Amino acid sequence: MKVTILGHGAWGSALAIHLCQSHSTTLWGRDPDALENIQRERENKLYLPGIPLPDNLILSTHLNEALLSAKLVIIATPIASLRSLLEAIHPLTQVPIIWACKGFEPKTGYLAHQIGLEILGVDYPCAVLSGPSFAQELAKGLPTAVTLAAKNIDLAQELMRELHHPRLRLYASEDIVGVEIAGAMKNIIAIAAGLSDGLQLGHNARAALITRGLAEISRLGVAMGGKSETFMGLSGLGDLVLTATGPLSRNYRVGKLLAEGQRLEAILKSLGHVAEGVGAALEVMRLANQYHIDLPISRMVEALLNEQITPQQALLSLLNREPKRES
């Protein structure tokens, strides 16, 4: 099967490296200079340094050319680019589209499937790929397991069978809302976990933050129509644990560096990658107000990112809450 991946960042490149073992794979990017460097070096030195690109991986900056004869399109860009890409490719192809974007669209606050619904329509074959997956590890061939969710479970299972591999195990779901909410909110909790570690509060505190953070994700996700079991799966608990404990996590590093006294603007500039939790925090609090749901950790992170409180005050805001039943 010919697969076209849009987005030559870390995740898009990692997926391309993996998929070209079993499929004819093209990796597209909009930056000709960057693609030329990657083509010449046969390595994405900016996002996946030290990992060579397979000889059979095709690189392209021409969208029409990249989509030609493709049977599946995977969009692996930040969610801010999803709308423009869907608008560009919709007239060119009618094949299934998988997006691997997490978070909320800036300005509209839409989740990825809401953008897809607006542009592609209700019956277009599309799905979301999400779960605990550091790009560097997949690119190195280390085992990874993720969730593939589509409104049509038959489509999810069909795509799962096509892409399933011993080193990239896929599990089908029909809970797009739950998968996307979990993928967006886990980044906020990861910032809180990084903050806790940066303040040297210990493993007990981090475990408590992750556990109570999962409760917040489930609370909002179920209110929005997600299934409670989704949040106990790979795209929920699995992704949260990885993002809130792994040093490769950008969002975790944001929290840790904030605790060390660095300013958010300087942190984001130094990362060189998008930290989705920064943009997601404000949108999650808007949804919390809309659904009348208490999300104390998310609220604390949002106030910290907006410099309304210091890291120490953020800690006190959680510790000083009234005791309550766990569930």
| 2 is annotated as an active-site residue | no
Strands (E), 174-227: none
Are the C-beta atoms of residues 178 and 194 closer than 8 Å to each other?
no
Query: What is the DSSP pairing of strand 126-130 with strand 144-149?
Result: antiparallel
Residue 82 and residue 86: Cα distance in Å, rounded? 6
Are the C-beta atoms of residues 139 and 51 closer than 8 Å to each other?
yes
Burial (CB count within 10 angstroms: exposed 0-12, middle 13-18, buried 19+), residue 94: exposed
Could you give the angle at which helices 112-120 and 176-198 cross, rounded to 10 degrees?
150
Its sign, for the CA torsion 268, 272, 277, 279, is positive
- Measured in whole angstroms, how far is the alpha carbon of residue 126 from the centre of its chain? 17
Residue 231 and residue 173: Cα distance in Å, rounded? 12
Are the C-beta atoms of residues 212 and 297 closer than 8 Å to each other?
yes
Given the residues 102, 151, 186, 227, select the one marked as catalytic.
Answer: 186
Helices and strands in the chain: count of H runs, count of E runs: 15, 8
Total residues found in the chain within this entry? 327
Residue 160 and residue 164: Cα distance in Å, rounded? 6
Residue 233 and residue 147: Cα distance in Å, rounded? 8
Catalytic residues: 186
